[in-house]
Homo-oligomer: A and B are copies of this chain.
């Protein structure tokens, strides 16, 4: 059977607008959201641009993007104030006036009626659309979007607040693109999440899959100790993505914790809930980060009972029951102390599992034997406790972030081994290994 030629991937550019972006006051989140959502659907996201609230600059950027791309997504500049200029810039490049859009006006009026407040006159600016453009309903905010054609490009103007932008990308832009722009080639993407391992170790194991020029593209990125493997194929290669993902999972073994992009905390809560287990955390250098990440997800109270932030040694002894003699003899960053912390938090909370972390987050406080980045972690259950020692390079925030994720990953490995391979005692967490990871 002859292969049919693949459609080319439509090219997308993303344009963000706002003085708060170019002044550095706010970091743009919308480019990443658009790039992920449209890239996963087979579009060729070529680039993004950010400009200030300047009519000339915005109109120029619109023209340039439309001359290069099949699809232009604009975020921001749709609010009611005079520095919200996306409507004006679109009207200028189209050579049309702004007109009051009746339906938008009625929506705004009814919204303010519900609030029980008179609508400020400036709000009506939000209901002005360039003549001949198509209204896009915003179901999570008050500023409507709109779309139009500029040359060969389909242009979508969306509100700037990330929640509204993301909702409209998903609900409006993605479905409309299938009929307004060239249809993308079949595309599939997958992600695999790893923890407790360096990006270079993952890269070595996947080196042949990651070579350039392969039909399925495999890449890695790392953030706070979480290595994400991205796998993407378009056209005929889309059919191979599942097989490549399975090969990645096979090679990474227990270092891969999920066949999707998910934070370690969210993944662990799901795992614990599915096993009916509870955990509590005793934290020193992470100061509460482990707890914060385990409670990012709603419903985490089924698995996470709470814990103790034992930043001062007095809290380690007084609340967690760590013997003062252990602290004096071994120091706060040591195997005996981290083990006593994990056992202590389990005991006082009544959780099935205890996890503990204590280390030198830096930048001060390091010694030759216990340098900055030196961290002890432990997990405990009814039957016992195991500790691991790690050293990471990086600044304070990096060390704390990796330590929190690694503590969570230690519990994940404990639970997976304990229930799938005959209990942690047989295949216990390696003791005393030192490994280096970059932030």
Interface residue total, chain A, C-beta cutoff 8 A: 84
Contacts of A342 in B (CB 8 A): none
CB proximity to B under 8 Å, residues A237-295: 280-281, 283, 285-292, 294-295
Of all chain B residues, the one with the shortest Cβ separation from A14 is B50
| Residue pair B364, A298 in contact (C-beta under 8 Å) | yes
| Residue pair A288, B309 in contact (C-beta under 8 Å) | yes
Contacts of A294 in B (CB 8 A): 287
- A22-30, A97-105, A129-137: which lies at the interface: A22-30
| Residue pair A32, B36 in contact (C-beta under 8 Å) | no
| Residue pair B52, A49 in contact (C-beta under 8 Å) | no
Contacts of A288 in B (CB 8 A): 281, 283, 287-292, 295, 307, 309
Of all chain B residues, the one with the shortest Cβ separation from A53 is B212
For chain A, what secondary structure do more than half of its interface residues adopt (helix, strand, loop), or is it mixed? Answer: mixed
- A171-179, A314-322, A378-386, A423-431: which lies at the interface: A314-322
Contacts of A280 in B (CB 8 A): 315
Q: Indicate whether A23 sits within 8 Å of B45 (C-beta atoms), given known contacts A349-B312, A350-B318.
A: yes
Q: How far is the CA of A306 from the CA of B313 in the complex (A)?
A: 9
Q: How far is the CA of A49 from the CA of B49 in the complex (A)?
A: 4
Q: Indicate whether A28 sits within 8 Å of B26 (C-beta atoms), given known contacts A47-B50, A287-B291, A309-B309.
A: no
Q: How far is the CA of A315 from the CA of B351 in the complex (A)?
A: 10
Known contacts A26-B32, A318-B350, then 5 further A-B pairs from the complex at CB < 8 Å, ordered by chain A residue: A46-B51, A48-B50, A287-B296, A291-B309, A306-B312
